[in-house]
Amino acid sequence: MTRTRATAAAATIAAATMTLTACSASAPFEDLAAPTFSEVTVHDPSVVTSDDEVWVFGSHAASASTTDLMSWTQNSMSVGDADAAGLFDDIRAELAETFEWAQSDTLWAADVVELPDGRYAMYYNACEGSSARSALGLAIADEVDGPYVNQEILLKSGMWDEESENAGEIYDATIHPNTVDPDAFYDENGDLWMVYGSYSGGIFILEMDEETGLPVEGQGYGEHLVGGNHSRIEAPNIRFDEETGYYYLFLSFGGLDAGGGYELRVARSETPDGPYLDAEGNDMSTVAGAPGTVFDDVSIEPYGVKLIGGYEWADGSGVGGDQGYVSPGHNTWYDDPETGESFLIFHSRFTGTEEMHNVRVHQLYMNEDGWPVLSPARYAGESLTEVSTDEAAGTYQVVLFDKVISPLVPTSVETTFAEDGTVSGGIEGTWELGDDAAVTVTAGDATYSGVLAPVWNPTAEAWTWGLTVVSEQGVPLWGRQAVDAS
């Protein structure tokens, strides 16, 4: 069973469709076809599978499905068309208590998980928006696309000057959670958990009853994992990796709009309820805004292993996703049961398109240190493959990220990876191929490890090599080899 993710409300945008035309591919890409993409809009996507279909559910009751992670079909766009799409019989009536408590007319980042008996549990949530006045509840359906029947509200927040879900404690938004952004997941033993939270008091985790989909009684808000003092950390999502034996906690840092500097980071733990550590050994439960602050990004910037943030390709097409991403975040994960390949699915805005956003899928790899790295291009049907030094050597556009949370994004620089193992141009250092497409890059005072993998360059309409590595400090470096025009 596979499921996961979603966060805050954004404008609902009509889906667009883009088809890339076929082109010739040279070895070692001769067996790879040009991809065809169909775009959909689901803010804060969360994955669940049904037979061969992969579904995402998100904010505003938006949903979409695919069978190949490239061509998507929009199912619903908003709360207004949720009934027509079959998600609910009467969503306004069924969730009236939630809308009233949250003082909202829309829903935030929904999460759907398949229960052991085959039913589908939707963890819906709504928030007032300018405060942590929120409600998180459960609805259940026999089929993934509904209709979902409301069960009950599970958690509330924002009960100012009143007792919180923690018995005997008056609600305090600096230490108690905003009850939104749920992610239900199974641990290695098949036990169900739910992680949730956004800004406010941080990210929390609850043990769940997989038979009913309800929290195990007596936990209150559950255990605190990260955040506090209104730091901009949200959209938690947890994935267990059988090979490494770690639980990976994916988080979105920053603000979700085009000027918010949204980005994805990760930490890991040996147990689902933590503690989660980053690559430098920092305990994420201590990461929070400075006391008395609101949205203090400086306090949280040094922590976590960064996977992706905004960026631009200098050799891109000039506008949209081909040029680069703006505020990518709020991810979910999917493991293909047949191939064993792993993917992150998230929403992103794009260069020059303001608040318009679409779903994006990138393949996820593990480096030699057991940290995930993300393909520098959207998934186009590729698989990890053998690469030789002479194939890998060449001119690349290289993006070196940092940990500053900012709308100012890095632009790629031209860099040469020579067959003699030297790196020159935009960055200076050395590089070396290992087994199974593993690669190590040394530049400045940092050593980066990851993989070289095929990627589709939409501007050149051709396959090429993509570099994705991360340093021991948790800073990623991406590269895209220039396409030979001859």
Q: Over 80: is that where the pLDDT of 5 sits?
A: no
Mean pLDDT, residues 14-18: 34
Please report the pLDDT score of residue 468 as a whole number: 98
* All domains in the chain, ordered by first residue: 36-374 (2.115.10.20), 392-481 (2.40.128.10)
Q: Over 50: is that where the pLDDT of 4 sits?
A: no
Report the C-alpha gap between 223 and 368 in whole angstroms. Answer: 31
Mean pLDDT, residues 402-429: 97
Report the C-alpha gap between 47 and 5 in whole angstroms. Answer: 6
Residue 94, C-beta contacts closer than 8 angstroms, at least 6 positions apart: 88, 139, 149, 150
Please report the pLDDT score of residue 20 as a whole number: 32
Inter-residue contact 4 to 361 (CB < 8 Å):
no
- Answer yes or no: 51 catalytic: no
Q: Over 90: is that where the pLDDT of 164 sits?
A: yes
Please report the pLDDT score of residue 485 as a whole number: 58
Q: What percent of the chain has pLDDT over 90?
A: 93
Tens digits of per-residue pLDDT, 383-399?
Answer: 999 999 999 999 999 99
Q: Which residue has the tokens 């770690």?
A: 246
Tens digits of per-residue pLDDT, 280-298?
Answer: 999 999 999 999 999 999 9
249 phi/psi in degrees, rounded to 5? -100, 110
3 state DSSP class of 79: helix
Q: Which residue has the tokens 């550590």?
A: 277
- Answer yes or no: 428 catalytic: no
Which is catalytic among the residues 39, 44, 145, 165?
Answer: 44
Residue 475, C-beta contacts closer than 8 angstroms, at least 6 positions apart: 306, 400, 401, 402, 403, 446, 448
Q: Which residue has the tokens 């393909």?
A: 375
Q: Over 60: is that where the pLDDT of 17 sits?
A: no
3 state DSSP class of 6: coil
* Averaged confidence pLDDT in the chain: 94
203 phi/psi in degrees, rounded to 5? -105, 135
Which is catalytic among the residues 165, 210, 234, 263?
Answer: 234
Tens digits of per-residue pLDDT, 98-117?
Answer: 999 999 999 999 999 999 99
Burial class (CB in 10 A: 0-12, 13-18, 19+), 163: exposed
Tens digits of per-residue pLDDT, 314-336?
Answer: 999 988 999 999 999 999 999 99
